[in-house]
Structure formats: C-alpha cells, structure tokens
Chains A and B, each alone.
Chain A
Amino acid sequence: MGSSLIAWIMRAIPFGTIIMYGALGEIVTEKSGNLNLGVPGIMYLGGFAGFASAYYYEKLATNPSAVVCVVIALLCALVASTLGGLIYAFLTITLRANQNVTGLALTTFGMGVANFFGVFVLNGASYTAAPLANKAFAAKLPFVSGLGVLGQVVFSYGFLAYAAIALAIALFWFLNRTRAGLNLRAVGENPATADAAGINVTRYKYLATCAGAAICGVGGLYYVLDYNQGIWATTGQIQALGWLAVALVIFTTWKPLNAIWGAYLFGTLYWLYQFLPSVLGITVSSAMTDLIQMLPYLVTIVVLVVVSLRKKKENQPPASLGIAYFREER
C-alpha cells in the first residue's frame, strides 16, 4: 500500500505542475482584467513549439547537446505561446473584442495549429518522440533523488517542477510587494482609477496577457517533454489539462501561493481512480473513471460556493475581469 501511495504522489506532482503553470499564467493575465479562456490553446502552442524545435534539433544536429536542446525548446515554447497571447491581447485590448469568445476561439486555434503542423512531424505515424529532450527535461536531481522515500516523493522530478514552485513564490512577491504588481492589480480592479493615477492601462494589459500566456506555454512544454515522456501523439489530452488550469485559477481565488498546493490536490484527485483499489481498497468499475476524474471540478464548484457565501472581497475575481477598458466611456 505504501508503494502505491508513493506512486500516486509521483503521478500527482508532475500532473499538478502542468496545471500550476497554466494557472499561474492565467492568474497574471486575469490580474490585468483579461479573462483568457485560450489557456488550452496556448498550452498546445507552447507544447508543440517546444517539442518540434527539440525534435528537429535532435534530428538535424550532428552532436546534439542536452543544454542547447533545453534552451531551444524553452525559447520556442515561450515565443509561440507569447504570440498566442499577443493575438488575444490585440483582439481584446486594441479591438475590444469580446473576451470570452476570443479566448474560446484561441483554444480552437491553438489546438488546430499544433495538430496541423504536428502532421508534418508525425509523418504518418501515430506518435513520435524526442528522447534527448525528454532525458534533459526529466533529469532527476543527482544524489538527493536517491534518498529513499523522501528522494522519490520530493526530489525525483525534472527541473521545471521546482521552477513552478519558485515561480509561484516569485509571483506572490511581485503582486504584493512591488510597484508594478500593485499597478497591475489596480488595472484589473479599476482601470479608470489606474488611468487617472497615470498608469498606462493598455501597456499593463498587453504585458500581463503576453507574460501570462508565456507561462501557460511552459505548462504545455512540460507536458510533452517531461510528463508525456517526450512523445508527441495525435491524442489531445492537453486540452483537458488546460481547462483544469482555468478551474484551478478560481480554486486559488487568484492567489499564486494557493496554486502550489491546489495544483497538487487537483493532481491527486485526478489520479484517484487509479489508486482507489490499491490505496483505499475500493474497487470501481472502469465506467466510473471519468466521473472520478471530474473531482477537481467538483472541488472548484465547492470553493466557488464557499467563497460566495463568505462574501470576502479579497477572494473575488478582479473587479473589471472580462471588461474591456475604454477611457472615454464613462
């Protein structure tokens, strides 16, 4: 039973890391008042760009180096997902298009782009791999990962898993302790007030949306090159993860630190079905699997209900979330 529990945790944490990136990126975006429902699409863009660049580097370079591979993959993932964010930003901020519609369209778009170009990479196969990149991204920490149970549970993941935690803490610090963070929150809460205070609302919205998209894209990259063992396949699980990330944002009540444990909790709940028999001794029919995988959403709904019952303003979404800002409209 103990080993099952360890296996469960080791499943939950990488899973959680993917959605933690998605959620952190979306928190940054939403803090500027932009509700970007294109998270799944952006994760697709980031994941595919990272995979494809690593794949071709491995294939074409005569003597591929792991470090170069990581840098190239990260860079391409960041650029591709930032571009995805830029599309959204241009449509919703400059052209003031409806945010929900634009976000959903971006999800479809990102998925389509990734799968379209994926055809060329796959070249007729149902999946293809970038083994070197996977090795580099999934490399465990030396020494400490061998420390028995502790090493397995805490230190056996690729570097991006730890980077996610560091990022969450950094974002907390940024939002609450810096001038730019205060300005960003003001933009999302009350853009008219921010504008009157001399803050460039449009610039903050653009930057936050693009930076947020870049962070989401890393989640996609982590999914393909680490979690999915460096395999690009024709199936579309990224989308499900993207929506979980959006749900996680609500679960965290827009606070980056909550995203850390929230993401792991989501991961644990998502994989519950596989470990029910071995850990808890409950056997369920396979038909129940999908129902059990809905638990993270159920928890999110519970959080929503509790938050709205408690009516604490700090737990509410940014006040102008979803609303385009136009100075002359009073």
Chain B
Amino acid sequence: MADTQIAIRLEKVTKTFGEVVANKDVSLEVRRGEILALLGENGSGKTTLMNMIAGIYYPDGGQIYLGGQAVDIRSPRDALALGIGMIHQHFKLVDVFTAAENIALSMDAAERFDLKRVRDKARAICEKYEFGLDLEQKVYEMSVSQKQTLEIVKVLYRGADILILDEPTAVLTPQETEKLFNVIRNMKADGKAVVIITHKLHEVLAISDRVAILRKGEYIDTVDTKTATEASLTEMMVGQKVELNIERPTPENTVRRLAIHNLSVTSEEGIKLLDNVSFEAFGGEILGIAGISGNGQKELLEAIAGLQPTERGSDVQFFAPGKGRAMELLGMSPRDIREAGVHLSFVPEDRLGMGLVGSMGMTGNMMLKSYGKGRTPILDQKAPRALAEEIREELGVVTPDLNTPVSRLSGGNVQKVLVGREIAASPIVLMTAYAVRGLDINTSYTIYHLLNEQKKKGVAVVYVGEDLDVLLALCDRILVLCGGKVNGILPGATATKEEVGLRMTQLQKEVQQ
C-alpha cells in the first residue's frame, strides 16, 4: 500500500473572510503518486482551500495533517519546508533575472550560494521530468508556458513532493497543455502528490485519478475519475436548482439592436480568446451570458465597447432606433460607441479597476462621462452633481457626502454608483458584467430590479453573470461561452441548470469543428 499512502489530509477546514464563508468544514485527502483534480465553479473556494495548504491563508478552524502528523502552516516558507509547493496563476518571478537566478532566490537559506551548483541541480531536475527550460534565459524573454515551467522547477528544486497547480492550463495553448500533462504524469510516476485546480471537465477526465468537488465553499464528494462522467461531475458541481424570486416580465416589442458576426479576439500570446462568436441582442429583453470566468466574457464586452482589438472578419452591427441603416461599431472609438448609446458597466474583481476613479467623489465620477459635453473651458459641475444626487437617492447609495472618494465607500455602494451611472445615461444597449459581484442579497435584488426596469423601457440588456440560478431566473435567453466559443443559446425559462453547467465546461459536438 506504499503507493497509496496519504500525503496530506484536511479535516473540517474552515475559512471565512468577514461574513463570507469561503470554505466550510472541508475534509479531503491527497495520496502519494496520484493526481487529484479539485473541481468547482467560480467562487466555490478551490483556490482558498489550497492557499491554506500553501501557507498563504491560515484556516479559522480544522486541522491539516501531513503524513499523519498534525501540522501548522503559517507561511509559504513553512509550506515549502514541509515539501508543499503551489504554482499560482500569477507567477512570482523577477523579470530581469535568469531562470537560474529566480531559482536561487527562493532556495533554502542553509544552502550555499553558488549559481553554478544551482544550475547543475536544476538541470538534473529538468532532465528527470523532461522539462524544456533554458536556465540562462531571462524571464522577460520567456513565454507564459516557459514561465510556468520555471515555477514548477522552482518548487521541485526546493524538494516539494506535494504540488498544487492553480488552473495551470488557463493560459496555455492546447499543445502546451499536453506538454504540461506529460510532465505532471512524470511527477506522478515519481511518487509525488499532484493537485490540479480546474473547472475544465475534459481535462479532469484526461489527467486525474480522482476528482474532489467543491460547491459554494462546501465539500461535496471525491470520486474516482474512472467511474465519473461529464454529466455526473456537472451535477455535483452546479447542484440543485435554487428557486429565486426574481421577476421576469415577458419581453414585449423586441427589436434587434446588436448583430454580431464571427467576432474573434486573439491574445498577445496568440491564444484565441474569442472564436467566431455570432449572436444577436434585442431591445426589451435580457440576454444572459454564462461561462466560467476567463472564457471570453470580458473580451466579448470589451470588443463591443471598442476597448479590444479584434481579428479580421469580425463584425459588430448596431441598430440605433429611428435609423434605417446599421452602424458598424468595430473601428469606432470607445467614446463614439458610448455616445451612440452602447454602454458598458464592468465590475472587475477589485471593483475600482475599471470605470471609476477611486480618489474622486460621486460627482467627479459622473463628470468623467460628461466633461466632453461642455462648451466652455470651465467644467459644468451642476449637472453631474444633480445626477450623483439622483443616483444616491434612487439606489440608496450610502455615502457621507457626494464628494467623498468612492474608494472609501463599501463595495456594494461602489457598484451602485458604477451601474447607476450607466443606467442614468439612458442607454440603448446596456452591458453589465458581474454587476452583483460581492453584493448582499438586498442590493443584488435592487440591481436586478433596475435591469428589469431597463428591459421594460426597451433597452437591450446584456448581463454577464456568475451565479447560474440568477441567470436562469432573470434572463430571457442565455448564451453560454466556453473556450471563447458560443456553446449554445438557451431560452432562460426552460433551460436547466445541468444543461447550462455542462455547456460551460464542455464544448458541444456541433460547436467543435
């Protein structure tokens, strides 16, 4: 039984951030010589759980056992000393250093400082697991895949025998992914325990031995990959449908507002972020966009708003009311697109990153969109202040003063300002992304209500969301994005959670080329 020895075991591990429970009573074990896939939707607590093993966070409750011994992991150094290494999505590398120098940076303080020895030892590791890595290459000359390889070598250099990879394939091309999987299999053959955090079902089935599933911070089950199917995993991942009390007025007098054909976006690294996306959006309805984060939602909205360069052959047509001819949005400046009536309110993870200036008050942030309208060199403060006042009253923004910097407001209030500003400009097309991210229930309902109001007014609402239950309750049609492709458009009233969930994680046959 030596090869199925337990490497690490979690017992009733709990972590909360403020009032948000990220992990609740999670018990889980990882064995030596196996690849465990940790599967779950966005925000299901996968990364938080692994961060506790890697020493980034400290659990509020529960215990971690390493080889049967209870351990206390308080920092990434502690974790490394125990043989636990985690490869994060954001690489921790110094750009102007060579690969060898980066490895030397994280080496044990007891080890003698000798770059030549570092290189020799690292080269031996590369040969053993068949990594292709030039140790003399500077990090800034490396591709994403090479950087990731370097991170893995760094961890192995420190002697880690438990490796955690956080969504390692998110930034890789299919060929690079295949290479990475080979390396992971080599490490498994060497008796190391490997955990890979992912939400791509086909990868889970391709590489893992067992799958542990988390849903909304809670541990659901661990199953053998051999006995699992896409459908069974999806069901465990998305769970039962929760009935929400969100109204969905029947769309009336729908008019075509946006027609998108063959929209493609390629990243700087040459990865297809959007692949021939085509769909239409209508005034008077809410079009939901579902997908696991990083599957092209951001790029799609940004491409329409004029913030993202698109590939040749892409086409975005906008049908303004009262105008016979369609308007080509691609090639127009973001400002012209906005003036034409297509508005975007994107709530990024840090909320303030896009759309608002943290050090300005509500009035100042309103002015960001209106200062160009003035005819005199002196700013018109009256209109923006009136608008800010209106938003504060109608949405109940809690702020001591209209000039209080928005960065000092709570997250929910910041979002109300952001969404409120776009709605107040009476758009023709309103695109919102993650509008309720991190909001409490009441505020979320306020936002849903606002969106429904817009829909009734005849606005074409595009709603990018994370919560499937909300998407199913609010939207008239749901477009599912998977790997940058449109993986089906389903009617919101009849679509099931399983169906949407499966389409989010697995390309349908007819969509694959």
Q: Are B94 and A186 in contact (CB under 8 A)?
A: yes
**CB < 8 Å neighbour of B105 from A178, A183, A319:** A183
- Interface residues as binary, A166-201 with B (CB distance below 8 Å gives 1, 0 otherwise): 000000000000110011011001101110111100
Q: Are A197 and B105 in contact (CB under 8 A)?
A: yes
Kindly list chain B residues whose C-beta atoms are within 8 Å of the C-beta of A194.
Answer: 94, 105
Cα–Cα, bound, A193→B91 (Å)? 8
* Minimum C-beta distance from A307 to chain B (A): 14
Interface membership of A310, Cβ < 8 A: no
- Interface residues as binary, A30-49 with B (CB distance below 8 Å gives 1, 0 otherwise): 00000000000000000000
Kindly list chain A residues whose C-beta atoms are within 8 Å of the C-beta of B76.
Answer: 196, 198
Interface membership of B57, Cβ < 8 A: no
Interface membership of B211, Cβ < 8 A: no
Chain A residue, CB-CB nearest to B77 = A198
Do A189 and B113 contact each other (CB < 8 Å), given the known contacts A182-B105, A198-B77?
no
* Minimum C-beta distance from A89 to chain B (A): 22
By size class, the interface of chain A is: 20 to 34
**CB < 8 Å neighbour of A319 from B77, B95, B101, B350:** B95
**CB < 8 Å neighbour of A313 from B109, B138, B350:** B138
Q: Are A193 and B93 in contact (CB under 8 A)?
A: yes
Kindly list chain A residues whose C-beta atoms are within 8 Å of the C-beta of B75.
Answer: 198
Chain A residue, CB-CB nearest to B76 = A196
* Minimum C-beta distance from A129 to chain B (A): 47
Chain B residue, CB-CB nearest to A178 = B113
Cα–Cα, bound, A223→B138 (Å)? 40
Chain B residue, CB-CB nearest to A187 = B94
Kindly list chain A residues whose C-beta atoms are within 8 Å of the C-beta of B105.
Answer: 182-183, 186, 193-194, 197, 199
Interface membership of A314, Cβ < 8 A: yes
Kindly list chain B residues whose C-beta atoms are within 8 Å of the C-beta of A186.
Answer: 94, 97, 105
Within 8 A of A (CB), among B281-301: none
Kindly list chain A residues whose C-beta atoms are within 8 Å of the C-beta of B94.
Answer: 185-186, 189-190, 193-194
- Interface residues as binary, B233-268 with A (CB distance below 8 Å gives 1, 0 otherwise): 000000000000000000000000000000000000
Chain A residue, CB-CB nearest to B91 = A193
Cα–Cα, bound, A193→B102 (Å)? 10
Cα–Cα, bound, A194→B76 (Å)? 12
Cα–Cα, bound, A194→B92 (Å)? 8
Residue of A178, A186, A189 with highest tally of chain B CB at under 10 A: A186
Cα–Cα, bound, A316→B94 (Å)? 14
Residue of A182, A185, A189, A198 with highest tally of chain B CB at under 10 A: A198
Interface membership of B50, Cβ < 8 A: no
Cα–Cα, bound, A197→B96 (Å)? 16
* Minimum C-beta distance from A161 to chain B (A): 32
* Minimum C-beta distance from A5 to chain B (A): 40
Cα–Cα, bound, A179→B96 (Å)? 16
Chain A residue, CB-CB nearest to B154 = A197
Chain A residue, CB-CB nearest to B75 = A198
Kindly list chain A residues whose C-beta atoms are within 8 Å of the C-beta of B459.
Answer: none
Kindly list chain A residues whose C-beta atoms are within 8 Å of the C-beta of B77.
Answer: 198
Q: Are B92 and A189 in contact (CB under 8 A)?
A: no
Interface membership of B16, Cβ < 8 A: no
* Minimum C-beta distance from B166 to chain A (A): 14
Q: Are A189 and B95 in contact (CB under 8 A)?
A: yes
Do A182 and B96 contact each other (CB < 8 Å), given the known contacts A196-B76, A198-B76?
no
**CB < 8 Å neighbour of B106 from A185, A192, A198, A313:** A198
* Minimum C-beta distance from B108 to chain A (A): 9
Q: Are B95 and A197 in contact (CB under 8 A)?
A: no
Cα–Cα, bound, A322→B92 (Å)? 20
Interface membership of B445, Cβ < 8 A: no
* Minimum C-beta distance from B150 to chain A (A): 12
Do A314 and B92 contact each other (CB < 8 Å), given the known contacts A182-B101, A183-B105?
no
Kindly list chain A residues whose C-beta atoms are within 8 Å of the C-beta of B195.
Answer: none
Kindly list chain B residues whose C-beta atoms are within 8 Å of the C-beta of A319.
Answer: 95-96
Do A314 and B96 contact each other (CB < 8 Å), given the known contacts A182-B101, A182-B105, A198-B76?
yes
A-B contact pairs, 29 of them (CB 8 A): A179-B104, A179-B113, A182-B101, A182-B105, A182-B113, A183-B105, A185-B94, A185-B96, A185-B97, A189-B94, A189-B96, A189-B97, A190-B94, A193-B94, A194-B94, A196-B106, A197-B105, A198-B75, A198-B76, A198-B77, A198-B106, A198-B109, A199-B105, A313-B96, A313-B138, A313-B140, A314-B96, A319-B95, A319-B96
* Chain A residues at the B interface, C-beta cutoff of 8 Å: 178-179, 182-183, 185-186, 189-190, 192-194, 196-199, 313-314, 316, 319, 330
- Known contacts A185-B97, A190-B92, A194-B94; 16 additional CB pairs below 8 A are A179-B104, A182-B104, A182-B105, A186-B94, A186-B97, A190-B95, A193-B105, A196-B92, A197-B106, A198-B76, A199-B105, A313-B95, A313-B96, A313-B140, A314-B96, A330-B350
Q: What 7 pairs between A and B have smallest CB-CB spacing?
A: A179-B113, A197-B106, A193-B92, A198-B77, A189-B94, A196-B92, A190-B94
